[in-house]
Structure 1
């Protein structure tokens, strides 16, 4: 508990508000909770402490998102090579996050995210032919895992890849839930293996679940009332803003 005793009431309020807003973003777009949480909390605590704090709310909200979709079995059969790559890459890459040397990896992640979102907003949607999934899925998973281990953020290149598979809105949301759930568990394993995530951190992380779920419920209510095209556009706008925020946080 020692690393958390310094947190006064104002810090805990900031943490609760952060996870509420991150939950809203996730409810609307199906992603963004770890990105928002790491971006905001990184300003008031060490990145590894922020990553440990997001484990439980990230896991709970992702399982909720995963369970609410229509195609769990089919998506799992299709994406399991990607999930295996995520596990291997995250556990291996978590040494970067625990070392504290995350400034430039986070900046690179944000730049890639912003460029992808801007390109897709202004140009044609990327598409992955089914015949290429056999080798692309494990490669994308491994790369996503290495980036997750280095930054605590799960989005690149998993999100662009899943969007390029041509999934429906609900399938995309469920596919993101599957990817993020696996990433969260793998990150917890990686941090725990290196002594950066312990049982007291699990209990404290659980305190962030309620505001995250409340925000996610509100975001899902908004998402259910928008068209597929509007959803896609705002999904990409959120990716662009999240990418810019990561870059600015790293260089300022």
Structure 2
């Protein structure tokens, strides 16, 4: 079990290092094969938090992103605390399947020539709604992607700003998910111990992935980013359909 978990976090960290996302999605999907979703979510807390902080503080524009994105971040906190009871108390397989379908569709759209954007005047009301929806999905599935990632992509940030914005969003989501699990009695000291052990393979994978990412062109990065969304989406759909 320990070796399997370590390999899962090495792979999840590698994916995150290249794409700036994917650690919770990969880890939750694979760990759920051998443990409950709540146990898997508890195990990913420390690797997710610290890899997100590494990603966050490696970027160039933290203060500006905080000023721009704080309504979305506040919405994430509220939504995650409300939605965590679904992850702890019931089977949320259908939610994960729907999430996977949205991810795959968005990835396919991203690979097309069409690009979406959010006018600055719409950010005022759209940002908190996106945050609330992201939080509800995070609470139900342990995955931090939809709709925050498409929204951040639509803001037309450059590659490094996008990676930092993802790290900021995921850091807040991880803290909120931990608070939700703790509130519902699904987070124990032993869970945090196992989570701490998984930090080493996750950080190793992250470092390897970042090394690869800095050697990619902007166009290739975008292509891999959207292909990664499709792969992660299909993975979630398959997991939801399996008995």
TM-score by length of 2: 0.99
Tell me if 1:248 matches 2:238.
yes
Residue 37 of structure 1 and its aligned partner are, at CA, apart by 0.2
1:33 aligns with 2:23: yes
Among residues 160, 181, 204, which one is paired with 2:150 in the alignment? Answer: 160
1:48, 1:100 within 8 Å by CA — same for their partners in 2?
A: no
Unpaired stretches in structure 1, ≥5 consecutive residues: 1-10
Structure 1 stretches of at least 4 aligned residues deviating more than 6 Å after TM superposition: none
Deviations 1:123-148 (A, max 9, x none): 41211111100001000000000000
In structure 2, the residue matched to 1:150 is 140
Tell me if 1:187 matches 2:162.
no
- The structure 1 residue matched to 2:43, chosen from 48, 53, 64, is 53
Aligned equivalents of 2:189 and 2:34: distance in 1? 22
Distance in 2 between residues matched to 1:227 and 1:129, nearest whole Å: 27
Partner of 1:238: 228
Tell me how large the CA RMSD over aligned residues is.
Answer: 0.6
Q: Which TM-score applies when normalising by structure 1?
A: 0.95
1:87 and 2:77 aligned: yes
Partner residue, 2:3: 13
| Greater Cα offset, 180-189 or 98-107 | 98-107
- What's the secondary structure of 1:45's corresponding residue? coil
Tell me if structure 2 keeps the 8 A contact 1:75–1:175: yes
- 1:170 aligned residue (160, 175, 189): 160
**Could you list the per-position Cα deviations for residues 75-106 of structure 1 after superposition, in whole angstroms to 9, with x for gaps in the alignment?**
00000000000000000000000013111010
DSSP 3-state at the match of 2:44:
helix
**May I ask how many residue pairs the two structures share in their alignment?**
242
Q: Could you tell me which residue of structure 1 aligns to residue 117 of structure 2? A: 127
Shift of 1:120: 1.6
User: Does 1:223 pair with 2:213?
Assistant: yes
